[in-house]
Amino acid sequence: MESEALVTLDRAEFRSVLGHFASGVVVITAIVDGRPVGFTCQSFFSLSLDPPLVALAPGRSSTSWPKIARAERLCVNVLAAGQEALARAFAVSGADKFSGVGWSAPSTPGGGPRLHGALAWIDRVVEQVHDGGDHFLVIAAVLGLVAGQGSPLVFYRGGFGSFAA
Ligand SMILES: Cc1cc2nc3c(=O)[nH]c(=O)nc-3n(C[C@H](O)[C@H](O)[C@H](O)COP(=O)(O)O)c2cc1C
């Protein structure tokens, strides 16, 4: 994907300005070869209501995504306020990310681990993977979803916070 504009933009400025777009934080999980795998992700959104589709953008440098892509079925864990430590733990490449983390087995066959204390869980299956520069754009069909109680963990300008209405 060639884009003239990107070449001339200062990367630090690009990250800094885009960091002004506040978002929730999710952890993408799956069971691969019988073991839980996961990574923290901010680039997640609801794409389509009918059919029910969501999208995310895993980086090409992620070591977890290629494994999760093989599993095809995964869970999006929407993190709750107070789960900053979990968000940081699932962002460390190569770490034993599930060590000491409470999770439940997938509710849908082949789905991903549901992290305890998360605000919502969305089970899905990967439908399409597109080129997205140094990331992929993944479109997935929603198989099941449920929300818990609480307020979201928010990510804004490189820092974590919570939401106050
Ligand atoms: C708040 C936050 C948001 C992140 N969002 C993304 C994202 O949208 N896409 C992505 O690929 N990595 C994202 N990361 C980085 C990944 O979590 C990190 O690169 C990954 O966990 C590395 O581990 P892996 O090699 O096991 O994949 C984010 C990290 C943090 C802390």
pLDDT in tens, the chain (165 residues): 455 555 778 999 999 999 999 999 999 999 998 899 999 999 999 999 999 999 999 999 999 999 999 887 899 999 999 999 999 999 999 999 999 999 998 766 667 899 999 999 998 778 899 999 999 999 999 988 999 889 999 999 999 999 987
Q: State the pLDDT at residue 42.
A: 97
64 lines ligand 1 (CB under 6 A): yes
Structurally, the chain folds into a number of domains equal to: 1
- Answer whether residue 36 is part of any domain: yes
Distance 48 CA to ligand 1 centre (A): 24
Distance 34 CA to ligand 1 centre (A): 22
Q: State the pLDDT at residue 8.
A: 79
- Answer whether residue 130 is part of any domain: yes
- Answer whether residue 16 is part of any domain: no
Q: State the pLDDT at residue 72.
A: 73
* Residue 48: both structure tokens together: 């389509």
* Residue 96: both structure tokens together: 């034993």
The CATH number that applies at residue 123 is: 2.30.110.10
Query: Which pairs count as long-range contacts for 134-138, CB under 8 Å and 24+ apart, including other chains?
Result: 134/59, 134/60, 134/61, 135/43, 135/57, 135/58, 135/59, 135/60, 136/57, 136/58, 136/60, 136/65, 137/55, 137/57, 138/55, 138/56, 138/57, 138/58, 138/69
Length reported for the chain: 165
- Answer whether residue 1 is part of any domain: no
Q: State the pLDDT at residue 135.
A: 97
* Residue 5: both structure tokens together: 């504009």
Q: State the pLDDT at residue 133.
A: 96
Could you tell me the pTM of the whole model?
0.93
- Answer whether residue 4 is part of any domain: no
Distance 131 CA to ligand 1 centre (A): 17
Can you give the residue range of the structural domain that contains 81?
24-158
43 lines ligand 1 (CB under 6 A): yes
- Answer whether residue 5 is part of any domain: no
91 lines ligand 1 (CB under 6 A): yes
Type of residue numbered 143 = L
- Answer whether residue 18 is part of any domain: no
- Answer whether residue 165 is part of any domain: no
Q: State the pLDDT at residue 2.
A: 52
